[in-house]
Amino acid sequence: MNISKSIIAIALLLGGTGCALLSSPVWAATSAPAAVVTQRHAIAIKIRNTVIGEGVPKIIIPTTGSTAEQVLMQARAIGENPDADLIEFRIDYLDFAVDAAQVAALGQQIVALVHGKPLILTFRTKAEGGAREISDKAYGQLYLALIKAHFIDILDLEMFRQPAMVHQVLAAAHQAGIKVVLSSHDFNKTPETAELVARLRRQDAMGADILKIAVMPHNVADVLKLLDATAQVRDHYSRKPLLTMSMGGLGAVTRLSGQVFGSDLTFGMSGEASAPGQIDASSLRQVLNTVNDAMEAK
């Protein structure tokens, strides 16, 4: 990662065409807000010793192992990595992904290795870019069983699964004291800005604690759509923490500039990436700190 080039890229997005797009809200394409958000910062969420929605965006590093041994080795490294704020336990990569008892036992071992860093549990389905296909029924049953195992801090729940199941899992997670990320992923394209805004607002209305969207850009305009949507939701619709990104190399700047536009979390990697465009966590930390220093100096 070339830090100088990253900062230049952020500057270019903030100037010229970027400013023109970001200054053109799409209110006509979305329903009128119930209330206008008047403060730009998110309402912070504290999980263990990590505060999400305050200061520099927090870095999540995912596991990518298929065996318990691989995942435990990765978890140990993430726990010792000073640039990792949270660990994402990606269970769809596991050889035993649908075995709730084995997954729960491994999850509890991970918690013991990561020195108090919050654990996000994620089964990313094949339909949204993950490693495995799974039915709505099996997805819901697996999540409900894992919620009862009491090792999860944050649960990633895909918003476009069967509505009744999503509602049931979300309610069960909240009853257990688990925060919920409602998520939407498009590995093929970037929807229009109005659609991105609408999805994030719908996640908010559904009761998510953290709003997440990840999309694939085909050009710079697509990257700007994601940044525009993030800024609109933060400025006008919600103070819940946001996790938004444009994927691939073209979208890498969105992983670096979250603090400018309103995204409170970002994904880094240590070893193998779990999605296109992820950046080494140490390089990512340097850029995030540089952006934060510049913003605080204004």
Query: Which residue numbers are catalytic?
Result: 185, 212
The one-letter amino acid code at 229 reads A
pLDDT level of residue 40 (50, 70, 90 thresholds): low
Q: Amino acid identity of 25? A: P
Q: What is the rounded CA–CA span in Å between residue 131 and residue 96?
A: 12
Under the banding of pLDDT at 50, 70 and 90, the label for residue 38 is very low
User: In angstroms, rounded to a whole number, what is the distance separating the alpha carbons of residues 290 and 279?
Assistant: 16
Rg of the chain over CA atoms, in angstroms? Answer: 18
Q: Compute the mean pLDDT over every residue in the chain, rounded to the nearest whole number.
A: 88
Q: What is the pLDDT of residue 39?
A: 55
pLDDT exceeds cutoff 90 at 16: no
Q: In CATH, what class is 51-297?
A: alpha beta
The rounded distance, in Å, linking the Cα atoms of 143 and 98 is 10
Q: What is the pLDDT of residues 87-132, one digit of tens each?
A: 999 999 999 999 999 999 999 999 999 999 999 999 999 999 999 9
**What does the alpha-carbon distance between residue 274 and residue 71 come to, in Å, rounded to a whole number?**
13
